Amino acid sequence: MNYNYSIRALILCIMVVSGISATAQIDLPAPSPLGTVAQRIGFADVSISYSRPSAKGRTVYGDLVPFNKVWRTGANAATKITFTENAKINGKDIKAGEYSIFTVPAKDSWVIAFNSDLKASASTYKEENDVLRIVVDVKPVNDLVETLTFNFTNLKTGEATVELVWEKTAVQFTIVTEVDAVVMGKIKTQTAGVSPSVYFASARYYYDTNRDLTQALEWINLAFAAQEPTFWMLRQKALIQAGLKDYKGAIATAELSSKKALEAKNDDYVKMNTTSIEEWKKMK
């Protein structure tokens, strides 16, 4: 038997088998698929990226996820949270950036840690890399939540609640971003002889945030002096006048708003103005 021929045949056979093995792999869906949830909070974009395990009939907390041990807060790699602006979490400062989220679940409360090491796992996690740690209460859930889920709830101006829920357990923390100082800064720099839309937006913000309504009225009048007001702009002026207890003026402005709303076939504003006028007549 030719020895060299046998060696070559063996090498060829190995190459063929290896090629079949490499090309025969099947891409299967991940048991804990990656999920991302995002929310604009004030001027900041906040997103959470995490792998989503399911209970599959198992007891999750105290068993699959042991109590009083560091958890990567999901499957596979640690969960990540990203902030495009500085924020506060449960009243504590956190800078813009990306962080891993590690938790230490317990029966009645959890530690939630925001960690600067994005590649850390439960076994390599180091507390000294935490940029923020909070303790939150456990909230029981009546209905079974099969798959680990992060939600943004209770949305307000510059504020939202992040809820983590799985099985029959939920924990929450609150994110607050700076809105007021940013808006007030823009108002101060942009209301010096500028467009009617800026005057109007500034007046509306002052009304919405319970500020100096005399200043708000001045700004909205400047807006009206520069352009013909729409029915919804007139509605805003009426609200400011009522806030200043000028109910007679508010009624007159609301009546004009209703007239223009009728012309525009906007029944919602007609109804809102009618309701307000009835209330303000009682206060004259």
Q: 12: pLDDT confidence band, cut at 50, 70 and 90?
A: low
Mean pLDDT of the chain, nearest integer:
89
Residues 45-103 pLDDT 10s: 999 999 999 999 999 999 999 999 999 999 988 999 999 999 999 999 999 999 999 99
Question: Does residue 254 sit in helix, strand or coil?
Answer: helix
Half-sphere exposure of 146 (CA within 13 A, CB side): 3
- Both tokens assigned to 181: 């100082």
How far apart (Å, rounded) are the C-alpha atoms in residues 164 and 102? 12
| Domain range summary for the chain, segments of one domain joined by + | 34-177, 180-283
Is 180-283 a CATH 3.40.50.300 domain?
Answer: no
Over residues 17-33, mean pLDDT = 64
Nearest-angstrom CA–CA distance, 132 and 172: 15
* Residues 21, 25, 28: CA angle, nearest 5 degrees: 165
- Given a cut of 60, whether residue 15 has pLDDT beyond it is no
Beta bridge partners of 114: 101, 132
Q: In this predicted structure, what is the pLDDT of residue 279?
A: 94
Q: Is the pLDDT of residue 247 over 90?
A: yes
Asked whether the predicted pLDDT for residue 9 surpasses 70, the reply is no
Q: b or e along 84-118 (b: 16 or more beta carbons within 10 Å of the residue's beta carbon)?
A: ebebbbeeeebeeeebbbbbbbeeeebbbbbbebe
In this prediction, residue 27 carries a pLDDT of: 72
State the greatest distance between any 2 C-alpha atoms of the chain, in Å, as a whole number: 117
List, for residues 170-227, the tens digit of each pLDDT value: 999 999 999 888 877 777 666 555 678 888 999 999 999 999 999 999 999 989 988 8
| Predicted local confidence at residue 61, as pLDDT | 96
33-58 confidence digits (pLDDT tens): 899 999 999 999 999 999 999 999 99
CB of 78 closer than 8 Å to CB of 193: no
